Amino acid sequence: MAVVLAAAPLLALAALLAAAAIVRLWDYAVVRLLWRPYAITKRFREQGIRGPSYRFLRGCNDEIRSLKGKTDGMVLDIGDHKYLPRIAPHYLKWRAQYGEPFLYWYGPQPRICIFDYELARQILSSKSGHFVKNDAHPTLLALVGKGLGFMEGTDWVRHRRIINPAFTIDKLKMMTRTMLDFAESMAKELEDQTSQNKNGETKVDINRYFSELTVDNISYAIFGSSYKLGKEVFQAQTDLLEITMATFLDVPVPGLKYLPTESNRRKWMLERKLKSLLKQIIQPRLASGECGNDLLGVMLASCIETNKQGGKQVDLSLSMEEIIHECKLFFFAGHENTALLLTWSVYLLSIYPEWQERLRKEVLREFGSDPPNPNALGKLKEMAMVLFETLRLYSPALFMQRKTLSNMTVGSTKLPKGIAIVIPIPIMHREKEIWGEDADEFNPQRFENGISAAAKVPHGLLAFSMGPRSCIGQNFSMLEAKSTLALMLQKFSFTLSPEYVHAPVDLFTLKPKFGLPVIVTPLDMCN
């Protein structure tokens, strides 16, 4: 009897926990997986918005996988820029079938895909706080961290305020000198390779070279000098990206991310490695009390300042954990996209040699054979036009996402709370009503009078997004791309290798599936 009485509270607790679990399960299985998809589909249908049907738990993931599988082997002719069926066959199919916008399901999450520039402008430039970043895939979060790119509200304001000073134009100009030094070393490596060949030329995967160059540049910009550790960070992030892409369309089984599956264990190991690598860079700097002039220095200064003031200035400081997250994000966002901008620019300049020659003439006119002057890179107008056209046709960033925090109305569309919104940059960059009949063609001339005059709307180019969450690194990236290209054009000419296979692929960013093999010839050999 005494035993039964003693066990009573435990039994009551167990019953309470079981009841809570049943309520949660009910909420998840019945409300979220059954009732909500039905209610949302109905609500959108009433507004005339349709889309592919919801399938229990899997949403439309199977159809996406199957459509992508079918176009994955597709190879395009060199010079054919119509690669959208390779990277977004599902969006093209559903748009043709259901009109726009349309509703689809990423697992149980409803998503609305919009193509209208005015809707995109309203959503991206909203400061109301009702459109926030969509929930990121857990492996993607492990890869890029919960830094600036995934924060909201006052936290985002605090981080952006602290980090902005690292990107002032004066700081960027100082960084450009280092960027030129790195580009010079890359050029030297290429020269050495060409000199070993009798015909004086060399074939290289230029994407690999640009990847290394941009890793060097971002390591320097963030950490000041830790290139070796920077390269290890790069490798850990590359491996995490591979896991993200492999598991992206898996059925989102609840709780799966906590189970020690092979891919989860690898993910955890890489996450720990990434954190420990970053700590190895950050802690000695913090211990020395010397913050330094780089991005890490700017962030550490906010910590030290706060410590000195007894931790009172919390609104303008970052914790160690937050700094680690920012380092992850800046490292990833800061090299990959620029490497791709450079890669696709070289691809386009190789297949349009008249533009390659025009840019070379512009560079030689401005700098002769002297190293490009960081203060005069802004004078390279034709180069800017080519870079913008590259960002339009081969935008490294692909699909931006937001989520509504409450019921919202945009234009005439009513969006319920919690719906994700997809803004497909590469598709919008090909809209003929916005860009003209030649939207699928390479025509840098359209940027002759600047970005805002290039299309029917001033915000046509979305490669760096727009509004308060637009890319903080865009000037960094443009200076890096201009200084590298200027130096390359002064020294070399490049043509596509016959081995090149034109198959742009969505690997979170837009990559050349088989790299970009090009034949590089020193200019003195061409004359």
- Which residues define the annotated binding site for heme? 471
CA distance 144 to 238: 11
Residue in 87, 78, 79, 67 with CA at minimum distance from that of residue 397:
87
Please identify, using beta-carbon distances, which residue of 337 and 521 lies nearer to ligand HEM. 337
Contacts of 377 (CB under 8 A, 6+ apart): 176, 479, 482, 483, 486
The one among 102, 355, 476, 492 contacting ligand HEM by CB under 6 A? 476
Task: Output the CA–CA distances (angstroms, integers) from residue 76 to 81, 487, 505, in the order listed.
Answer: 8, 30, 12
Enumerate residues 361-400 that contact ligand HEM by CB under 6 A.
396-397, 400
Cα–Cα distance for residue pair 150/156, rounded to 1 Å = 8
Q: Contact between 477 and ligand HEM (CB under 6 A)?
A: yes
Q: Is 473 in the site for ligand HEM (CB under 6 A)?
A: yes
Mark the segment that binds ligand HEM (CB under 6 A) among 274-282, 334-342, 491-499, 517-525: 334-342
By CB under 6 A, is residue 160 in contact with ligand HEM?
yes
SS3 399: strand
Considering only the stretches 7-15, 34-42, 325-333, 439-447, report the one whose residues sit in contact with ligand HEM under the rule CB under 6 A.
Answer: 325-333
Compare residues 67 and 340 and give the one whose CB is closer to ligand HEM: 340
Contacts of 399 (CB under 8 A, 6+ apart): 88, 422, 423, 424, 425
Which neighbouring-strand residues pair with 112? 103, 421
Nearer of residues 338 and 483 to ligand HEM, judged by Cβ: 338
Closest approach of Cβ 149 to ligand HEM, in Å? Answer: 4
182 binds ligand HEM (CB under 6 A): no
Residue 329 as a binder of ligand HEM (CB under 6 A): the answer is yes
Identity of the residue, 76 or 471, whose beta carbon is nearer to ligand HEM in the bound complex = 471
Q: Which stretch binds ligand HEM (CB under 6 A): 106-114, 173-181, 274-282, 331-339?
A: 331-339
Query: What is the rounded distance in angstroms from the CA atom of residue 331 to the CA atom of residue 425?
Result: 23
Site for ligand HEM, residues 340 to 359, rule: CB under 6 A: 341
Site for ligand HEM, residues 453 to 472, rule: CB under 6 A: 463-465, 469, 471-472
The torsion angles phi and psi of 94, rounded to 5 degrees, stand at: -70, -35
Q: Give the H/E segment covering residue 443.
A: none
Would you say 238 or 497 has its CB closer to ligand HEM?
238
- 210: CB partners within 8 A, 6+ apart: 338, 339, 340, 342, 343, 346, 484
- Complex with ligand HEM: residue 213 or 341, whichever CB lies closer: 341
- The candidate with the shortest Cα–Cα distance to 332, out of 219, 228, 178, is 219
Angle at Cα 27 formed by Cα 414 and Cα 9, nearest 5°?
Answer: 150
Q: How far is the CB of 424 from ligand HEM (least distance, A)?
A: 12
User: Binding-site residue total for ligand HEM (CB under 6 A)?
Assistant: 22
Using the minimum distance from each CB to ligand HEM, give the nearer residue, 220 or 464: 464
Contact string (CB under 6 A) for ligand HEM, positions 393-432, x = contact = ---xx--x--------------------------------
Report the SS3 class of residue 109. Answer: strand
Distance, in Å, from the CA atom of 281 to the CA atom of 450, rounded to the nearest integer, reads: 41
Residues that bind ligand HEM (CB under 6 A): 148-149, 160, 329-330, 333-334, 337-338, 341, 396-397, 400, 463-465, 469, 471-473, 476-477
